[in-house]
Amino acid sequence: MKKIDSYIDNRMISILSLLNDGIVITDEKGFVKYINPAYTLYSGKEPEAMLNKHISELRPGAVLPQVLETHKAIRNIPRKVGNVESYCDYMPIMEKEKVIGGLIVVKDVVRIKELIKELEDANKTVAQLNQQIKNSFSAKTTFEDLIGASMGLNEVVKVSRKAAKTDSPVLLIGESGVGKDVVAQSIHNGGPRKEMPFVDINCAALPENLLESELFGYSEGAFTGAKKGGKLGLFELANGGTLFLDEITELPLSLQAKLLRAIQEKKIMKLGGETTKQLDVRIIAATNKNILDCINKKQFREDLYFRLAVFVIEIPPLRKRKKDIHLFINNFINEQEKKKQKPINISEEAMAILMDYDWPGNVRELRNAIEYSCNTIEGNVIEVSNLPPNILKKGTLLMTTDLAQKELSLSEIIENAEKQAIKFYLQLYGSNMKSKEKIAEVLNVSIATLYNKIKKYGLG
């Protein structure tokens, strides 16, 4: 069997003398055979004073003899010589299951402490960034926040609550402004992923190439101009949580194929990447288009549709949810009362017009209409004249009366309508000379006729 001395040749020495860690090599009995320059720094002893001495003689209570006996390494033992602190590893040097020597490695505790501190700092930064990701990718609305008492909305909430408990994809269908976003958020918050990110992207907002890297990310050097370190895609950011794909029918066909694969295989490959990454993402998609139409026109993949359409939730337009219109109006007026710090009411006529309007922009338009109205009132009451001009169409006028319930004669109905119409325009345009000229023009009557009617109905 070779002796340890034969290993300690010039080549070995030149390498070991480069290390910052202190190195001591002994023979199989524990007699010191080599010390590198760094060890001298830790021990304060010159090599000549140590060579060929037994390690126990140099350091009473030395650990190495035990290691040579048991053949088992002992690591990270703290040690202090004077003011110098270090950590030591003790190892047997084996050959063919026999001990031929011992090795002591002395590691600088200051550096290790620095590294620990650096690691702790880095961990803190990661935790902060994670928190930031959570904050910026979070869903605010919950089922409890949703307003509505109509059958239509109740049905939506019922199915959505069921969907929230599962991991299955959801497809939300409805006109713009009906509440697809808030329902998607409620589904996320109503399920087990609520503490995880809710990431949303509007598929119509970006051109194809940007959309792809936004969704799937790219690896470093994927293309000229790619950021150093690559880019994390939204899919990956949503890991563990929910990805909300708004206006899904606007996703280009090539990306539809990629999305389908990602959903089916539960993994993605970055642009320019070579490996796939396993992900756990719940998909909620939304559209305001007729998606079956898009499939017929070959603009949307049928197989992707079937993947997404596990829960299909159609949110009815606001005009079909009359009960909700009333609730929303009161709610949005409350919001404005808080903002403006004054009580606000709405006149019966104005309310009737809002109830009858067809709301092509749905809840979003209604919220804006109330905000507009509250900005134009002088006192505390929203009058017809405060409503946004586009809502004040002629056709809505007659609906402000509840004629049918009163069982009036035809001439009474006509008179009533006439009175309502003139009253409406007086509120809208005002009652000075100029306004009256304008009203006569709009109603296509002479100014004299208008004056007569104003007098007749006591509106002047």
What's the token pair of residue 432? 């000075």
Single out the residue of 188, 301, 367, 436 in contact with ligand ADP (rule: CB under 6 A): 367
Residue 147 near ligand ADP by CB under 6 A = yes
Placement of tokens 């139409």 in the chain: 293
Tokens read off for 319: 């005009």
Q: Which stretch binds ligand ADP (CB under 6 A): 96-104, 169-177, 211-219, 398-406?
A: 169-177
DSSP type of residue 198? E
Q: Which of residues 249-278 bind ligand ADP (CB under 6 A)?
A: none
Alpha carbon 245 to chain centroid, angstroms: 11
Binding status of residue 202 toward ligand ADP by CB under 6 A: no
365 sits near Mg ion (criterion: CB under 5 A): no
Q: Does 63 engage in binding with ligand ADP (CB under 6 A)?
A: no
Angle at the Cα of 275 (from 271 to 278), degrees rounded to 5?
100
Which residues within the stretch 132-191 sit at the binding site for Mg ion (CB under 5 A)? 180-181
Nearest to 111 by CA among 199, 22, 24: 22
Residue 190 interacts with ligand ADP (CB under 6 A): yes or no: no
Among Mg ion, ligand ADP, none, the one that 174 touches (CB under a kind-dependent 5 to 8 A) is: ligand ADP
Q: Which residues of 95-105 are buried (b: 16+ CB within 10 A; e: fewer)?
A: eeeebbbbbbb
Q: Where are the alpha helices (DSSP H) in 169-299?
A: 180-189, 208-216, 234-237, 253-265, 291-296
Torsions phi, psi for 369 (to 5 deg): -65, -40
Query: 81 with 42: CB under 8 angstroms?
Result: yes
User: CB under 5 to 8 A by kind: which of ligand ADP, Mg ion, none does 285 bind?
Assistant: none
Least distance between Mg ion and beta carbon 204 (Å):
10
* Least spacing, CB of residue 162 vs ligand ADP, in Å: 17
**Total chain residues near ligand ADP (CB under 6 A):** 14
> What distance in Å separates the CA atoms of residue 367 and residue 33, rounded to the nearest whole number?
86
Question: Residue 374 gets which letter from DSSP?
Answer: H
How many degrees, rounded to 5, is the angle at CA 239 between CA 233 and CA 242? 100
Q: Is 327 near ligand ADP (CB under 6 A)?
A: no
Q: How far is the CB of 78 from Mg ion (least distance, A)?
A: 60
Smaller CB separation from ligand ADP, 22 or 148: 148
The amino acid sitting at 40 is: T
Closest approach of Cβ 363 to ligand ADP, in Å? 3
Q: Is residue 177 a contact point for ligand ADP (CB under 6 A)?
A: yes
Q: Does 364 bind ligand ADP (CB under 6 A)?
A: yes
Instruction: Work out whether 178 is an interface residue with ligand ADP (CB under 6 A).
Output: yes
Residue closer to ligand ADP, measured from CB, 21 or 247: 247
In sequence order, the 6+-apart residues with CB closer than 8 A to the CB of 89 are 73, 74, 75, 76, 77, 103, 104, 105, 107
Residue closest to ligand ADP when measured from CB atoms: 179
Using CB under 6 A as the binding rule, whether residue 321 contacts ligand ADP is answered as no
Q: For the chain, what percentages of helix, strand and coil (3-state, to nearest 5) are there?
A: 50, 15, 30
- Vertex 386 angle, CA 384 and 389, to 5°: 85
The residue among 155 and 415 lying less far from ligand ADP, judged by its C-beta, is 155
Q: Is 363 in the site for ligand ADP (CB under 6 A)?
A: yes
Q: Which stretch binds ligand ADP (CB under 6 A): 25-33, 362-370, 391-399, 425-433?
A: 362-370
Q: What does 282 bind: ligand ADP, Mg ion, none (CB cut-off 5 to 8 Å by kind)? A: none
Among 21, 28, 108, 181, binds ligand ADP (CB under 6 A): 181
DSSP symbol at 387: S
Size of the site for Mg ion (CB under 5 A): 2
- Packed helices 447-456 and 410-429: angle between N→C axes, nearest 10 degrees: 110
The strand pairing partners of 346, in sequence order, are: 382
CB of 398 to Mg ion, least distance (A): 34
Would you tell me which residues interact with ligand ADP (CB under 6 A)?
146-148, 174, 176-182, 363-364, 367
Would you tell me which residues interact with Mg ion (CB under 5 A)?
180-181
